[in-house]
A and B are shown apart, each in its own frame.
Chain A
Amino acid sequence: MARPDTSSRYPGERRGAGHLATYVVLSLLAIVYIFPFLVQIANSFKSDEEATTAGMSLWSPNWTTAAYTTLFNNSNFALWTLNSFIVTIVVTIGRVFFVSLAGYSLARLRFPGRQGVYLMLLAVMSVPMVVLLIPKFLVIKSLGIYDSYPGMILPLLVDAAGVFIMKNFFESIPVAVEEAARIDGAGTFRTFWSVVLPMARPALMTIIILSFQGSWNELNHFIVSTQSPELTTLTKGVASLASGQLSAGNQYPIKLAAAALMTIPVAVIFFIFQKRIMNASGGAVKE
């Protein structure tokens, strides 16, 4: 059998042309992926007119911060941001917790009605959200939590897709680990919390990112669950800036400025947590 090439740091790593090709491909793709976002930022610093007529150019002879000034002065931007943060942070923490519990239960624990619960999960994911808007509104109203923080937060605390993702992830973790823990006398929760969950770190980091993003960008639910100006979140507030007719023009700069600002927290969270997806420990299957 051929001896492995030990001249490079990592076994089997190809040097030279193949490596360069990867970088080129990746960089081209990265440019394509970032480009729309750059255009968005550029247009937010242009006038209404320029954004429509010269929308594609990344450079403008007349940079203006008019869109941002309008955004901050004529709207309650600070309050909207605060509300968005409150809701998003609570929902993210809640989701990570509840979704991993539920996912583990559906993946590994046997209990009567397990199939039924899983079917309900799939059913709920498969019904188009559009038709559920008014019924959800009526339920929230009847429970008395309309136009309040609980009304905004509670319905978002669990998302079906998250449970689905965690369930499938837990299923790919070797059963041996749990069986070993059980032999050692750990209860179900102990097994889950101290043994399985650390192994699911990559999935957990993914859920954190997805939950943060999902609740941060949520719009329909906030329209459904609130009406008072004090509870307006960023998404809802931005939508109200230009919900009328054509008569005021496209208003691209202000819409894009708001969208650009809203992207920042999510991008930051992503950048922080994507590193942690790296599975440092490699799990319990080590010497």
Chain B
Amino acid sequence: MSTTQGLARTAASAPARSAGHHSRLNRAQAGAGWLFVAPMVVVLGIFLFLPVLMAAWVSVSDWNGRGAPWAPGVNFVGGRNYADVLGGQGLAARDFGVSIRNNLYYVILVVPIQTALSLVLAFLVNKRALRAKGFYRTAFYFPSVTSSVAITVLWLFLFSASGAVNAVLGWFSINGPNWFADPDGLIHLMLGGGDGPDWLQAPGLFGISGWEWLAGPSVAMTAFILMAVFTTSGTFMLLFLASLQAIGEETDEAAMVDGANAWQRFRYVTLPMLRPTIFTVLTLGTIGTWQVFDQIYTGTRGGPAKTTLTPAYLSYDAAFVSQDWGRGAAIAFVLFAIIVAFTALQRLILGRDNDRTSRRIERARLQATAQTAAHTVPGGSAAGPTIGSSDGPS
């Protein structure tokens, strides 16, 4: 019995269920729901959520790093740490502003590029007719597999003033910059450099002038951006690959048979079905890029001229080096708020609707299957309406 017919049966018979049956089902489901989610809640709750609460307490206390934060002698200080970081024109606020600016450009550039690139790669290595798929997939996944320390060290090599990248640029007669030591912002460079117009010089948000806010990512930061795209495109390629595999080829083939060209197939058939995965990749990407730390720690430590300083690194520095734990925690939680805001914004823009999307996917699949069946049966007739076609049977 095919599921198509089974589905029809369900739809027909749903209203006939009794209320008692439903509530028993619901209770069983609720029980199972909690049971399934219990290990996650326990592990994440104890080892991550609890520390989050502790860190939140530290951000509003004067804990100085000696002894436990809940020991007697640690006092509540209200929003003082947050005020230091967000308000005022002091060094703390200015450093925080610079780090936010740097990270903002990083996020804006990395997330779209890595999503697009990983999608393209997944698409390319998913083609059924491609030989040595395994080799290509492993090749693209390699950077993701290597530890970030090794990649950072390697990147410092490649992007040094006399490194491979500048050598390759030299073939095209381009004089490559001294990547990791160049603090000039890209936007500044594109606008011709210099100190900018006078009306942008006054200290603004966080004590940083408007001109500085417009600097764009520095050349050094750009090297990190390229590194991020390089290392994460493999991981997200994997997610897209899994998704493409799960979608299967019937829908695509059906559209192909209908005469849709590659671009139309991609835009109107594949892309909508990839929506949940795109959402996953965008969310994970946003969360990940806002927390960039390892590469900065191993590589430039905030230099040159603080243009690779990020809030996560600033938080580490304030806490572990300056022993200013309250400030470090406050920075982390402001960052948390920013991440939540960005994720919510993303959700709004993409207009997620789980059930509708999955039902749409399922409908497309059914139509595709029916189509394929129709075409493989000799002289067969369509079992149902074809996708997007308003013609009668061929």
**A79 CB within 8 Å of chain B:** no
Are B340 and A270 in contact, with the CB atoms below 8 A?
Answer: no
Are A110 and B33 in contact, with the CB atoms below 8 A?
Answer: yes
Among B4-56, those with CB < 8 Å from A are 6-7, 9-10, 26, 28-34, 36-37, 39-41, 43-52, 54-55
Are B136 and A30 in contact, with the CB atoms below 8 A?
Answer: yes
Among A246-270, those with CB < 8 Å from B are 252, 255-256, 259-260, 262-263, 266-267, 270
- The minimal Cβ–Cβ distance linking A214 to chain B, given in whole angstroms, is 10
B101: A residues at CB distance < 8 A: none
Interface flags, B357-379, vs A, CB<8A=1, else 0: 11101100110010001000000
**B163 CB within 8 Å of chain A:** yes
Output the nearest chain B residue to A272 by Cβ-Cβ distance: B134
- State A22–B133 Cα separation when bound (angstroms): 12
Output the nearest chain B residue to A180 by Cβ-Cβ distance: B6
- State A266–B280 Cα separation when bound (angstroms): 23
Are A131 and B259 in contact, with the CB atoms below 8 A?
Answer: no
B230: A residues at CB distance < 8 A: 33
A117: B residues at CB distance < 8 A: 37, 40-41
Output the nearest chain B residue to A57 by Cβ-Cβ distance: B164
Are A168 and B276 in contact, with the CB atoms below 8 A?
Answer: yes
Are B33 and A29 in contact, with the CB atoms below 8 A?
Answer: no
Are B256 and A11 in contact, with the CB atoms below 8 A?
Answer: yes
Are B3 and A180 in contact, with the CB atoms below 8 A?
Answer: yes
Q: How large is the interface on B (under 10, 10 to 19, 20 to 34, 35 or more residues)?
A: 35 or more
Are B243 and A169 in contact, with the CB atoms below 8 A?
Answer: yes
Selected from A252, A278, A285, the residue in CB contact (under 8 A) with B245 is A278
Selected from A111, A161, A172, A284, the residue in CB contact (under 8 A) with B29 is A111
- The minimal Cβ–Cβ distance linking B113 to chain A, given in whole angstroms, is 14
- The minimal Cβ–Cβ distance linking A261 to chain B, given in whole angstroms, is 11
**B173 CB within 8 Å of chain A:** no
A111 with B153, Cβ < 8 A, contacts A98-B40, A279-B248 known: no
Are B358 and A172 in contact, with the CB atoms below 8 A?
Answer: yes
- State A284–B335 Cα separation when bound (angstroms): 44
**B257 CB within 8 Å of chain A:** yes
Are B293 and A202 in contact, with the CB atoms below 8 A?
Answer: no
Query: Which one of B81-89, B299-307, B308-316 contacts A?
Result: B308-316
Selected from B28, B45, B144, B280, the residue in CB contact (under 8 A) with A213 is B144
A67: B residues at CB distance < 8 A: none
- State A102–B357 Cα separation when bound (angstroms): 21
A78: B residues at CB distance < 8 A: none
A136 with B51, Cβ < 8 A, contacts A29-B121, A259-B150 known: yes
Selected from B37, B44, B139, B362, the residue in CB contact (under 8 A) with A174 is B362
B3: A residues at CB distance < 8 A: 176-177, 180, 284-285
**A39 CB within 8 Å of chain B:** yes
- State A284–B45 Cα separation when bound (angstroms): 36
B106: A residues at CB distance < 8 A: none
Selected from B10, B51, B354, the residue in CB contact (under 8 A) with A179 is B10
B390: A residues at CB distance < 8 A: none
- The minimal Cβ–Cβ distance linking B46 to chain A, given in whole angstroms, is 7
A161 with B157, Cβ < 8 A, contacts A130-B293, A135-B55 known: no
- State A146–B137 Cα separation when bound (angstroms): 39
Are B29 and A109 in contact, with the CB atoms below 8 A?
Answer: yes
Selected from B54, B273, B366, the residue in CB contact (under 8 A) with A138 is B54
> Using a CB–CB distance below 8 Å, which chain B residues touch chain A?
2-3, 6-7, 9-10, 26, 28-34, 36-37, 39-41, 43-52, 54-55, 58, 65, 68-69, 121, 124-125, 127-130, 134-151, 153-155, 157-158, 163-164, 167, 230, 234-235, 238-239, 241-243, 245-246, 248, 250, 253, 256-257, 259, 273, 276-277, 279-280, 283-284, 287, 291, 293, 311-313, 315-316, 319, 328-329, 331-333, 335-336, 339-340, 343, 354-355, 357-359, 361-362, 365-366, 369, 373, 391, 394
Contacts A/B (CB < 8 Å), 11 sampled: A4-B256, A56-B167, A111-B31, A128-B291, A128-B293, A130-B315, A130-B328, A131-B58, A183-B9, A203-B246, A271-B138
Q: What 17 new A-B contacts, CB under 8 Å, besides A109-B33, A179-B7?
A: A12-B256, A33-B140, A36-B158, A40-B146, A101-B40, A121-B40, A122-B343, A135-B50, A139-B50, A140-B47, A143-B46, A180-B3, A203-B242, A206-B239, A267-B145, A277-B238, A285-B366
